[in-house]
Amino acid sequence: MTSLATERLTLRPLVPDDAEAYAAMRFHPKVEKWLPPAEGDPVEAALRSIGRFTAAWRERGHAPWGVFLDGRLIGHGGLNYVPEFGETEVLWALHPDAWGRGYATEVARAALAYGFETLGLDLIFAITLSANLASQAVMRRLGLTYRRRVAYKGFKDIVWFDMDRQTWRER
């Protein structure tokens, strides 16, 4: 498992003790609106996600990190392998108190560097609902390119952006 420091943030794998703070971010109504809802108790759902991330760190050497500002959990972000597409996505979510300061872009840049330079991935994609303009603004700031609409987990109105390693090197 890998931890990183960016200019302003600490990125580290989530552990079960983070579950309450993670649930408060991930299942905040303004965040959950764009992501799958909690099934059952939010803290239990957070613990299940943390368990999945821990397994992914072991199996693939990457998973979304917890994002910490001055020791406080403000979000998650990082790389996530998606078997439905056979590719790795970069994802992000922040507690609304942390929006508007460039933190998601800072996390995602570190994730792209880790994916292309450390893991040697050829392609990294990002998807979101077409109505999620804040998330698409992060994609554009990173230099990802819009390619197409895709269906995913029952949602049809998903936009797909991506970047390949060559483009990352030349950016």
Q: Enumerate binding residues for ligand COA (CB under 6 A).
A: 31, 34-35, 92-94, 99-105, 128, 132, 134-135, 137-138
Shortest Å distance, C-beta 95 to ligand COA: 8
- Smaller CB separation from ligand COA, 16 or 36: 36
- Smaller CB separation from ligand COA, 15 or 134: 134
Shortest Å distance, C-beta 53 to ligand COA: 16
- Smaller CB separation from ligand COA, 12 or 28: 28
Shortest Å distance, C-beta 16 to ligand COA: 23
Closest CA to 92 of 116, 68, 65: 65
Output the DSSP codes for 48-114. Answer: HHHHHHHHHHHHHS--EEEEEETTEEEEEEEEEEETTTTEEEEEEEE-GGGTTSSHHHHHHHHHHHI
* 144 touches 161 (CB < 8 A): yes
Shortest Å distance, C-beta 91 to ligand COA: 6
Paired tokens of 47 = 């613990």
Shortest Å distance, C-beta 118 to ligand COA: 22
- Smaller CB separation from ligand COA, 8 or 58: 8
Q: What is the dihedral of CA 80, 81, 82, 87, to 10 degrees?
A: 120
Q: How many CB atoms lie within 10 A of CB 34?
A: 13
Paired tokens of 11 = 């990125």
- Smaller CB separation from ligand COA, 47 or 138: 138
